Amino acid sequence: MSQVKPDVLVAGGGGFIGGHLAGDLLRQGVRVRAVDSKPLSEWDQVHPEAENVIGDLSSLPTARTAVSGVGQVYNLAADMGGIGFIESNRTVCMLSVLTSTHVLLASRDEGVERYFYASSACVYAAEKQSRSDVAALRESDAYPADPEDGYGWEKLFSERICRHFAEDFGIGTRVARYHNIYGSHGTWDGGREKAPAAICRKVATAAITGDHEIEIWGDGKQTRSFTYIDDCVYGTQLIMAGESADPVNLGSSELVSINRLVDLVEEIAGIRTERTYLPAAPQGVRGRNSDNTAILATYDWQPSTPLIDGLERTYRWVYDQVKSRIE
């Protein structure tokens, strides 16, 4: 560890959201310690101005060292990916509970003032997400509990332990339920990527190679809302600075089908693809959308980036990655 003590720990700082959050905090003059278990060469972003540490935060001694001396902790560390990864790695996803619990324990013991936990819309009850024309999910819809098997249960449990640490020990815990965050400098291939990056990669590959046949998981009629990374980073910091310990949605309410998502990326790319649908492929719940009533009322936050704008920025970045690999 360096001699200069940082103000903030970003746990999972080598990941997609963690890398963007660390960068934004650094631009504000905040001293950041970023910790991730991956080698630096595998971090989505490495910020030289930060104190960058390789460490497995599922280990309590490592978590204590990582938290030492900081005033605030943003915990975004988790072993996760898109729906294909989540459905085939339920045990791996649930074992993230070690990281979630140990970073929180270390934060209590080291006197951390504020602790932010990145939860997920996967905590919501499955019966509330069985239709494409789904009603937007309110925070109360997480109960009675029936979250995404594996990953969703870990997130819901970790939300609860944040609540009880706040009640029992007075630590200022804050929880956001992220809804499908996307953007540049994230995973775009390899099996852990999420739908926007995967579709951008498929369309970019089609545009570069001239082979316009792409595969779509499911029938394309399943629906989601997608939140651009800049909006996520801003909202996350508002929640951290706020006074409510209740979990709150952080997402867009712009509901689209996967087919519509492909349409938009094709429009950006200037091509049309030939789609082959894979109904047996992992596709998650039928529909999911974010009710933003609570976050708007509490933090005056709503996403400012329309889906088409965020997708254009994301596609341009993914296109460059695909082109560099093919060439």
pLDDT of residue 3: 43
Q: What is the largest distance, in Å, between two alpha-carbon atoms of the chain?
A: 60
- CB distance 70 to 7 below 8 Å: yes
Domain 195-224+254-288+305-326 has CATH 3.90.25.10: yes
* CA angle at 19 for the pair 13 and 25, rounded to the nearest 5°: 95
The mean predicted confidence, pLDDT, of the chain is 96
How does pLDDT run across 127-161, given as a tens digit for each residue? 999 999 999 999 999 999 999 999 999 999 999 99
Exactly one of 74, 117, 124, 151 is catalytic; name it: 151
The pLDDT of residue 28: 97
In the chain, list all ranges with CATH 3.90.25.10: 195-224+254-288+305-326
Q: Where in the chain is the domain with CATH 3.40.50.720?
A: 8-182+226-250
Kindly give the residue spans of alpha helices, DSSP state H, lying in 89-144: 90-94, 96-109
What is the model's pLDDT at position 6? 82
* Residue 151 bears catalytic tag: yes
What is the residue type of 297?
A
Q: What is the pLDDT of residues 62-121, one digit of tens each?
A: 999 999 999 999 999 999 999 999 999 999 999 999 999 999 999 999 999 999 999 999
Could you give the CA distance from residue 158 to residue 78 in angstroms, rounded to a whole number?
A: 11
Mean pLDDT, residues 27-55 taken together:
98
Element (H, E) at 224: strand 223-224
What is the model's pLDDT at position 327?
77
Per-residue confidence (pLDDT) for residue 5, from 0 to 100? 61
Among residues 284, 258, 287, the alpha carbon closest in space to that of 128 is found at 287
What CATH number does the domain located at 8-182+226-250 have?
A: 3.40.50.720
What is the CB neighbour count within 10 angstroms for residue 289? 24
